[in-house]
Chains A and B, each alone.
Chain A
Amino acid sequence: MAEYIAPKSLLDPSKKQTFCPGCGHGIVVRLLHELIWELGYEDNNCFILGVGCSCHLCSMACGDYYMAPHGRASAAATGAKRIRPDMLTISYQGDGDAAVIGFSETMNAAYRNENITLVMINNTNFGMTGGQMSWTTMPGEVTATSINGRDCDKTGYPVHLPEMMANSFSHIAYAARGSVHDVKHINETKKYLKNALEAQIHQEGYSMVEVLCQCPTNWHMSPVKAQERIKNELIPEYPLGEFKKRGEAK
């Protein structure tokens, strides 16, 4: 059986893993590095980063990275991929970045079927800035800007990005939602990410994976309890699976 060693692009001593203890981001970053090496793109890839906790990837890139203004990574990824069509281009954004301030850029990149991959880390809040409400915050969830619990009648109901994209833009290549709350789901999420990246490599069009990630710091829980929250509270609202499969008819 194979050994379990993180890719050398992550173990480089100059690469600092600066996420909070137990944060789900770190797991997804490792999965992406593993896949980039497995697919042979370690010398030809670029993370286009949002602003927020995803900025931490500045010190965890596999090939190149580019930090876009808050919300605009999908637009920057569009430009980058059009100039370098062979470069594996991953727009790596949080839920605040991609589904709130960047909602338009995110949806429009899918609408145009840009040949990029969006990885959206959904931890139901704006993490970096101290845990404000985002459009994926759960009904009744207490955040820094919903101290009495989110009132969805006034602020809107949770946004379901992969479903919206699969339903509205049937021409895209792939849309899925995974989670990293236990090893079984980490492994499943890796399959979804692989599908998304392969869709890009084979020029099938736009691909995206939303990943439910624990945010121990802003959920005010231990990492283990935060993973339990994903299982017990988030998944009923955000079902896992593939909403647009590769090769499915438009």
Chain B
Amino acid sequence: MAKELLKGNVAAAEAACRAGMNFFAGYPITPSTEILEYLSHRLPELGRTFIQGENEIATINMVMGAAACGGRCLTASSGPGISLKASGYSYAAENCLPFVVINVQRWGCGLGSLLSGQSDYFRDVKGGGHGDFHHIVYAPTDIQELVDMTYNAFDIAEKYRCGVTILSEALLGQMMESVELPPFKEREVPLDWGIDGTGKVGLKLTPPPKRSGDYFARREPAYIEIEATLQQWDAVETADAEHVIVAFGLPSRVCRDAVKTLRAEGIKAGLIVPKTLCPYPFDAFKALPEGVKSFLSVETNHIGMMVEDVALASRKAKQFAPVYCMNYGPGIPRTTEVCAYVKNIIAGTVKERF
């Protein structure tokens, strides 16, 4: 199939349409707004439902109502708007409602910066709302991945009856790359649950809702399978790496170049690129050689979030080297900056986080 030059947000929106998404509710918020704008004309073209809602709380609840009735649903927003959806996420988890959400992240908290960042890692990867649940979280590094992950997300959401977050970034949403769009498909596996007006099917929650009930029991089998089978990552020159960089999303592309540059200078750098953040690719760390000397989490946020999971993953793999964090932002670090940081680690002039 021919490639097209598409803006990230538009490509993601079209990929969702191709996956059979038939209900979108959203609200304008930079840098995700192109998803809303594109779908405002594309979905009616396809005879499907588009709603520009009054706010992000309303739109997540529209998605939930539609999902409960069998819709294949998408919403999209950015940091502050996603925060408004938190309660909805939790209710959707309680009711095992599948849906896909694209978070085109800003940098920082509050209004934040419209420049690119990865500031929502804690919130989106670890839960996103009250109570114990989490989404499956994908971290695309380029627009083709953004397309492929969004396209596959609906089947995955329905298989596990949970929310799937595509953790995009401002720059990824705004930039243009050539991508191959997948073919149109419909839902292949019909749902065996859902509100149909008869009262005879319903949400089929097992165990059924009860005030003091252990509702996590209905989530647990899915979570176990997700953890065991959905981990995804790329490993770059890790077979003999002494200094392992871990980065997701756009910064990982810079880190690939950094690994090349460092290797050319005789430094045995390697890179793990998590493609799923939840489940976190703990298995990627198991394959590392013995005696890794340092781990470096490169993240475009202020306080360092994924670094905690890097520390956990390394210890889980019986690697006890110090774990460092290069916080950057807003925007994307340069290759030279990443290389300099690794050299500072080697020189002992930066303090480890763990």
Are chains A and B touching in the complex at the 8 Å CB cutoff?
yes
Binding site for B on A (CB under 8 A): 41, 43-46, 48, 58, 61-66, 68-69, 72, 75-80, 82-84, 86-88, 104-105, 108, 111-112
CA distance A84 to B67 in the complex (A): 11
**Contact between A72 and B58 (Cβ–Cβ < 8 Å)?**
yes
Known contacts A61-B199, A62-B199, A72-B58: does B65 contact A77 (CB below 8 Å)?
Answer: yes
Chain A nearest CB: distance from B226 CB in Å? Answer: 25
**Contact between B71 and A63 (Cβ–Cβ < 8 Å)?**
no
Known contacts A72-B57, A105-B54: does B62 contact A64 (CB below 8 Å)?
Answer: no
Name which residue of chain B comes closest to A63, CB basis: B199
A-B contact list, 26 entries, CB within 8 Å: A43-B197, A44-B197, A44-B198, A46-B197, A61-B199, A64-B198, A64-B201, A66-B203, A68-B61, A68-B65, A68-B91, A75-B62, A76-B64, A78-B62, A79-B23, A79-B51, A79-B64, A79-B65, A80-B65, A80-B69, A83-B22, A83-B65, A84-B195, A87-B195, A88-B197, A104-B57
CA distance A46 to B69 in the complex (A): 10
Known contacts A63-B198, A68-B61, A75-B62: does B55 contact A80 (CB below 8 Å)?
Answer: no
**Contact between B87 and A69 (Cβ–Cβ < 8 Å)?**
yes
Identify the 10 closest CB pairs spanning chains A and B, nearest first: A79-B65, A76-B65, A79-B66, A75-B61, A79-B62, A44-B197, A72-B61, A87-B197, A80-B65, A108-B54
- Where chain A touches its partner, the secondary structure class is mixed
Q: Does B49 contact A (CB under 8 A)?
A: yes
**Contact between A66 and B198 (Cβ–Cβ < 8 Å)?**
no
Chain B nearest CB: distance from A11 CB in Å? Answer: 15
Chain B residues closer than 8 Å to A58, beta-carbon distance = 209
**Contact between A64 and B65 (Cβ–Cβ < 8 Å)?**
no
CA distance A232 to B281 in the complex (A): 67
Chain A residues closer than 8 Å to B71, beta-carbon distance = 79, 82-83
Q: Does B80 contact A (CB under 8 A)?
A: no
Q: Does B247 contact A (CB under 8 A)?
A: no
Q: Does B202 contact A (CB under 8 A)?
A: yes
Chain B nearest CB: distance from A88 CB in Å? Answer: 7
CA distance A21 to B68 in the complex (A): 33
Chain B nearest CB: distance from A47 CB in Å? Answer: 10
Q: Does B331 contact A (CB under 8 A)?
A: no
Chain A residues closer than 8 Å to B49, beta-carbon distance = 82-83
CA distance A62 to B200 in the complex (A): 11
Q: Does B251 contact A (CB under 8 A)?
A: no
**Contact between A68 and B199 (Cβ–Cβ < 8 Å)?**
no
The residue that A76 contacts in the complex, of B55, B61, B196, B203, with Cβ under 8 A, is B61
Interface set, chain B 147-203, CB cutoff 8 A to A: 195-199, 201-203
Name which residue of chain B comes closest to A61, CB basis: B199
CA distance A78 to B67 in the complex (A): 12
